[in-house]
A and B are shown apart, each in its own frame.
Chain A
Amino acid sequence: MALPLNFNQSNKIFYMKRTNLRIKLFYNILTLAAILGFASCDSQLHESPIGIITEQTPPTNSSVVYSVKNTYQLLSNTLNIIGEWGWDDGTVTRNDFVLQDIASGDMMKKWSPDGDQAWMDKFSDFSITPVNSGIKGQWSYDYAGVARANLSISYLTDLELCKKIALDETLRKYMLGQVYFLRAFYYFDLINNYGDVPLVLEPIKSFSDASKLAKRETKANVTTQINKDLVDALTLIPDGRYSDNTDKWRVSKGAVLAMQAKVALYNQQWATVLSTINTLESLNYYSLNSNYFDCFDQTKKFAENEDILQANHTSLTTPASGNGLCALMGWGFVAPTTNFINSFEANDPRLAYTVEVSKKQVNKLLGTLNGTNSGNDDAASNKIYIRWADVLLWKAEAALETGDNATAIAYINKVRQRARNTVTVAGTAAPAGILPDRPASTDKATIKSWLVSERRAELGFESQRFNDLKRWGMAKTFLNGIGSNYQDKNNVYPIPQTEVDRTGSSITQNPQY
């Protein structure tokens, strides 16, 4: 180990040689290190990314086509479209049944009260605060829909891109029409729930985009944009009962017209409501089914006459697109309030089609009459957004508001007639004398009360009544009457606290929240 003490000449030479060898070795290593280390490291530090799709990855024909289908997803009840079991974010499924039906006093969270998902109960008694999961979830769903629509619109209006990816022009227009419609749909839900909301019309590219957009646009301005999108959609979507005979769930011309009518109705533009619905009637796309339940029956979907806009659920598909609300029903969610059950006229067959209390079975939302689908997170029953009976009652309302009492009563009676002629859930004919035609009347208030109760019975659990109560100015009186603490401020829900926080309060809170 140690060097010899008194080495002779030969040792010295030996030592020198070794030293030379050592220096040579050292230089070799150094050179190698320099070449391998520095050169290769530098290039490795700047390699282009692998295994991810970044902003530099150009869209393809199929990704553009898919972007349209992707925009529909937020309409569905499929579980976990956003996040993974995000109960605290209210994103497990679309919250219409909470924000609309529980809020309206028609629905309770569960058949037996418990502490599960307590945020839903806050809609029963209107103790809703800005941190409530439900309002957060609905906001997320609608704005995710808007963002996907914006991305799709940005592709489909980029003619250069569409040419590059060889996108068929007819298809391009049709697809563009659909996403315009969907954007309008999501914004309409947003203004009804939250009032003034941020208006985002393009995909965001950076943080600064987000802060530029962080302000609430007036409800009126958003409505203008909604109408514009619907007008554009109407010119782009082809005629026909279905716009696409393969994908019958895609937005049709009828759906666009119905949506225009609904927007006009919510803005009390009665003439527009009437003219739009007249156009719809003249197209002869829709009529009332003979059986009230047909438009909910999962075995009859796209083989009945009434549905205008629906979210299509399918089992065993990838990605999953089943009706996840059915899973929640299997866990005891979704139950009627006593007030709702009692609001039906005697022997109205629609009650049992909506909910069979003895079996604790919400048939309308399950899409079946024998309890099938309960507990199934992949059920094929559809979610109905707009159907013909609803449209007929809009016409009744617009007629009433424009003094045409006869038409109003006639249209209410159309809906009643179908109801009384529907066989009961048990398959037997309904007892005679139920749901008689409303007689002629000139008293607007009476006719209005008929309309109010007809809409509640016909459209129960279809997420219509809460908005109806609000636009009729009845919400406070009615809800206070059934023990809910609804106040004037509740005409709009609070803006989710996260939005206020994440924009440094550039997004302001609704008054008194």
Chain B
Amino acid sequence: MFLSFFSLVMQAQTVQLKGTVKDALTNEELIGVNVIVVGTKTGTVTGINGDFEITVPQNATLKVSYVGYKSQEIKLSGASQTTLYVKLESDTRAIDEVVVVGYNAQKKSSLTGAVSSVNMTDLAQRKVPDVAQMLQGQVAGVQVTQSTGAPGDGINIVVRGVGSINSGTKPLYIIDGNPSESISFINPSDILSMTVLKDAAAAALYGARASGGVIVITSKSGKSGKVSVEASYYHGIQQVSNLPKMLNGTQYMDKMEESWNNANPGQSASNPYTPQKSRTDLANTNWLKELFTPGQTDNMQLSISGGTEKVQYYLSGSYFHQNGIVVSNNDEFNRINFHSTVNANLTNWFKVGTNLQIVNSMQDALSSSGDAPGIIRHAFLRPPVISVYKDPSDPTYKASDPYTDLPFYSTNLQNNGGKWNNSNNLYELSQNPIALANNTNDKRGSFRTFGNVFGELAFFSDKSLKLKTNLGVDINFIHNKAFNKNYGDDDGQGTAIYAGQGRQNRPNTLAESRAQESTITWTNTATYNKQINLHAISVLAGSEYVGYNNSGMNGSRENYSNSDPAFQYLDFGNQNLHIWNGGTEVKSTLFSLFAGVNYNYDNRYYANVNLRRDMSSQFAANNQTAYFPSLSAAWRISQESFMKDVEAISDLKLRISSGKLGNQSGLSNYPSLAIYDSQGTLRRLGNPDLKWETTTQNDVGLDASFFNSKVSFTLDYYQKVTSDLLLPLNLPTFVGDLSPTIVNAGKMTNKGVEISAGYKNFDHAFKYSINANVALGSNVVNELPATLPSIYGQVTKTEAGHPLNSYYGYQMAGIYQTQAEIDDYLKGAPHSDIKPGYIKFKDLNGDGIINDKDRTYLGNPNPRMTYGLNFMFSYKAIDFSMFVQGVQGVERWNDLKKILDYDTRPFNHTTSTLDSWHGAGTSNTIPISTFADNGSSNNSSIFVENASYLRLKNVEVGCSLQEVFKKYKNVLPNIRIYVSMQNLFTITKYTGLDPESTNLMDQGTYPQARAFLFGFTTKF
């Protein structure tokens, strides 16, 4: 508009100028470069090919400026000049990117807190479906773990150590101004940047929900200029790796024979396994090999962006599909994303915009970890002598259910008058994992609408005052449906009316649930920015309302006479018996006011104060309000006059911050009230005095860059003290069987050091960069209430003075070699049940009795060091990147080992048990194989393993076709093709499937696979 106005006034002396702006070094076109006529406010920006067009006065001087480049002023040479070709030189010293820190954006140089910003284009090499995975290993102090490798399973992010015992430890995600508990629904390609607010300085503006850190995500938006279209596709193949080696059929039978003999000394003549060894129907099944097959991944993505000066848009659609590494197609994940971003400048001072994501996802959930039914676990346990399928000649064979179930079922029936007799069975009653995988039908669907609309008003000619209102919605429709098909052999047990049905899922059931979860966020902010001489001040004030509502219904029926998918609806189950249904609703409200002031003097001294006041409906009326303040300051030493001449140092800044953050996540509804069940029984007492868990965090940091910013370095030391921990306090049981009441008690400290360093050199054709980060952390529980001196988990204990969830149990001292050794060691009590070859535990109190007074701390599941390393280079048409990530100093409870190698049932074992104790002096580490309890039923150090690892997460090699075939540059589209490899190798001493699993007990998890991907991206 104003251009035409301008041209009207000065028509006589103007000239139509066309031009291009490129990088002086790389010759890349630069998009979005400002071209302004000096002394006026006339200007334009370059478009998608670095080109611009502008009407200017003759002899005008143009200023060409771009973030990160040295500005140039160019005087035009009169009416004859109608074209202009500009080459901008990069100004590494001047790089001052803008970082979105939540309610507002700040220049990176002015940050006073521990804030790490991740540029998503740098992470484009990580072909993962979940945004959270992309963060892994990128930011010091942000631990990202994938607890299972099953498609669609969740990712955990922990910022600066687990800060809460019972409450949630997840960070708060702010997606385009909208708070969210999850980011896994987002299409990674739609994201422009992620900012992690690690300390209290910036996060305090999010108050009550920020104790786990805040991750601010900004979506891509369109730029004015030519339409840009990007399309990409990749296909991947996953393969399981690092599987433990299991006994084969012969080894298994020998092992069972040995175990029986050891449990029944002197009776080897009547060993039932000995005659079994000559059976002719013994199979030799490698269950792991049968269970895993190559998995497939497909991802396609199309985005279109562009716009005018008035309206910019970004539209994208993507489809992701993964079929996991377990046989059958019941471990799939599908996700379809639509994303649109539209920003419109209605007037010079009124801007509106919207950001909308629609996501439909469907997970075929498979029992990916844990005990029941535990597909992975059963593949380990099941004896190799059982075949996968029954022989079609077997009288119990059914084409609809061809899998073996009970061991040697038809033989057992024949020998026992047509009825299953378990006492004649010598093999483990495991489930057939292949049947489990094929019969699993558990669909988890979600349809999510996530987005916001905003309007922003600017005041004054310099737009120093801005008012913004932002309305966000997050509506998630959840639909879960599981049909548990009846199958397997009839063991003659179970309720009489289901007699004759197979033992698995007897009777069959359908369970279905639907829920609607909605969060409405309404945020109003006012910002004021003013620079007066050397004083710069920026003020933010605002209010925020968050309304949460979750309502759902569920139902189930059983005994479907027809389990065909056409009848897998509630209507078709048993009409009379066990018709279950339920439904309820949960609501909560958070209302907050907040304010912040940033001040800096001469870009040298910075100070920042934030305060948030939160009011939550989850607490009783007298405790609804809490205040969360923070204070931070920075000194940019490099701006001091005495530093100006130190050429080597490009930037040097010292930061310090302190503040309080809250946590209320994980609270059940209405924790201040006593709750009764529908039968009128008291379920829980309330705690009217309940309030927020508070984390006080202090941080000292140093940012530095050297040699024209080629070398960058950041160091942070933090201390995070969580007090008034939300703890579930159990009353003594003599007042009845009550669920615990949540109280505020206890204290826990996390502290640590975070270092990240990088080097990049883009000066030559061979461009390369290397970035490394490492975080050292420690966790200790300082205080627990007197009535809760320790919190026990299945294998853990939490107690003041020790890290959270420390493994606890008996310390293995070795293996008893002789009876004399036992008699001497256990002189305090009769010990007829202890035999040579059994595990010898340390008698810590020296009373000659091994009992629970001899238990001690065995390990710490909180990692002491996490690190990541990225390396990349590009040379002409080729680019290469590599990402290594690891954890050093962490223990994990390998529960799979317990059941595989040390259980007393006839499970299959790993080959490590071939070296078990078999006489004095044969082993001091692997106990005797026996069906009696050799001490392995005790929680002991034998199951606690060092789970440190180093993993080559990703390697990618790409190639730009235009660069390879330079001659045809104008004909060829701009295509990059690449090959990517994930989880190529892992170095670890951990003997479980995956050291990356963070379950406190590793019961056999769906492992992360090695993957090979190939794909292309194109842009035009």
Contact = CB atoms under 8 A, between A and B. Distances in A.
Interface of A: 1-6, 18, 22, 25-26, 29, 33, 36-37, 41-42, 44-47, 49-57, 59, 63-64, 66-67, 70, 82-83, 88, 111-116, 118, 121, 125, 127, 129, 131, 136, 139-140, 143-144, 146-148, 151, 197-198, 200, 203-207, 209-210, 213-214, 315-316, 318, 330, 332, 359-360, 371-372, 374-376, 378, 483, 485, 496, 498-499, 501-504, 507
Interface stretch (B324-332, B344-352, B638-646, B694-702): B344-352
Contacts of B578: 316, 318
B731 A376 contact: no
The 5 closest A-B pairs by CB, nearest first: A147-B736, A115-B937, A375-B493, A2-B41, A114-B904
B353 interface: no
A381 to B, nearest CB: 12
B545 interface: yes
Nearest to B543: A37
Interface stretch (B298-306, B357-365, B494-502): B494-502
Given A207-B731, A496-B733, A53 B675 contact: yes
A22 B737 CA distance: 62
Interface of B: 2, 5-6, 9, 40-43, 263, 309, 345, 347-350, 422-423, 457, 459, 461, 467, 469, 491-497, 522, 524, 543, 545, 547, 577-578, 584-587, 589, 591, 615-617, 621, 624, 669-670, 673-682, 685-687, 730-737, 741, 786-790, 794, 829-830, 832-833, 849, 851-853, 903-905, 931-934, 936-938
Interface of A is mostly: loop
A143 B737 contact: yes
Contacts of B584: 51
5 contacts: A51-B586, A51-B669, A63-B680, A144-B737, A200-B735
A5 B591 contact: no
A213 to B, nearest CB: 7
Given A59-B680, A503-B732, A376 B495 contact: yes
A140 B349 CA distance: 68
Given A37-B591, A143-B733, A360-B423, A5 B40 contact: yes
B423 A41 contact: no
Nearest to B733: A140
A504 B745 CA distance: 15
A47 B678 CA distance: 21
B829 A485 contact: yes
Contacts of A18: 347, 349
A118 B933 contact: yes
A498 B787 CA distance: 9
A127 B829 contact: yes
Contacts of A59: 680
B987 to A, nearest CB: 33
A502 B591 contact: no
A148 B736 contact: yes
B680 A213 contact: no
Given A46-B617, A197-B734, A375-B494, A22 B543 contact: no
Contact of B830 (A125, A375, A501): A125
B787 A503 contact: yes
A137 to B, nearest CB: 10
B568 to A, nearest CB: 23
Max chain B C-beta neighbours (<10 A), residue from A46, A200, A502: A502
A371 B9 CA distance: 104
A143 B731 CA distance: 12
Given A3-B348, A37-B524, A376-B495, A51 B736 contact: no
A71 to B, nearest CB: 10
Contacts of B670: 49, 52, 54
Contact of B833 (A125, A200, A209, A375): A125
A287 B497 CA distance: 34
A213 B591 contact: no
A453 B735 CA distance: 39
Contacts of B730: 498, 502
B686 A146 contact: no
A210 B852 contact: no
B735 A209 contact: yes
A481 B587 CA distance: 64
Nearest to A500: B732
B790 A501 contact: yes
Contacts of B345: 1
Contact of A114 (B309, B851, B932): B932
A124 to B, nearest CB: 9
A210 B938 contact: no
Given A3-B2, A52-B675, A116-B905, 16 more contacts: A1-B348, A2-B41, A22-B459, A36-B522, A37-B545, A37-B591, A50-B587, A52-B669, A83-B737, A147-B735, A203-B682, A207-B685, A318-B578, A374-B493, A375-B493, A502-B730
Contacts of A316: 495, 497, 577-578
Contacts of B492: 371
A33 B524 contact: yes
A197 B788 CA distance: 21
Contact of B851 (A129, A205, A207): A129
A55 B672 CA distance: 11
Contacts of B680: 53, 59, 63-64, 66-67, 70, 151
Nearest to B36: A2
A111 B424 CA distance: 13
Q: Which of B9, B543, B680, B741 has the most CB of A within 10 A?
A: B680
Nearest to B495: A378
B155 to A, nearest CB: 27
A115 B495 CA distance: 28
B681 A376 contact: no
A54 B904 contact: no
Nearest to B625: A45
B674 A45 contact: no
Contacts of A507: 732, 734
Contact of B457 (A26, A115, A485): A26
A3 B41 contact: yes
A44 B669 contact: no
A121 B935 CA distance: 12
Contact of A502 (B9, B731, B932): B731
Contacts of A143: 733-737
Contact of A214 (B621, B732, B903, B936): B732
B423 A376 contact: no
A120 B676 CA distance: 33
B679 A70 contact: yes
A338 B6 CA distance: 108
Contact of B732 (A22, A66, A330, A499): A499
Contacts of A3: 2, 41, 348, 461
Contact of B615 (A45, A136, A375): A45
Given A55-B673, A63-B679, A127-B829, A41 B545 contact: yes
A26 B467 CA distance: 8
A118 B810 CA distance: 14
A146 B734 CA distance: 8
Contacts of A52: 669-670, 673, 675
A332 B906 CA distance: 14
Given A2-B41, A330-B493, A41 B673 contact: no
Given A41-B591, A116-B904, A498-B732, A67 B674 contact: no
A346 to B, nearest CB: 26
A485 B830 contact: yes
Contacts of B589: 41, 44-45, 47
Contacts of A29: 467, 469, 524
A363 B422 CA distance: 16
A56 B789 CA distance: 33
A2 B670 CA distance: 53
Contacts of A53: 675-678, 680
Nearest to B461: A3
A431 B74 CA distance: 123
A501 to B, nearest CB: 5
Nearest to A371: B492
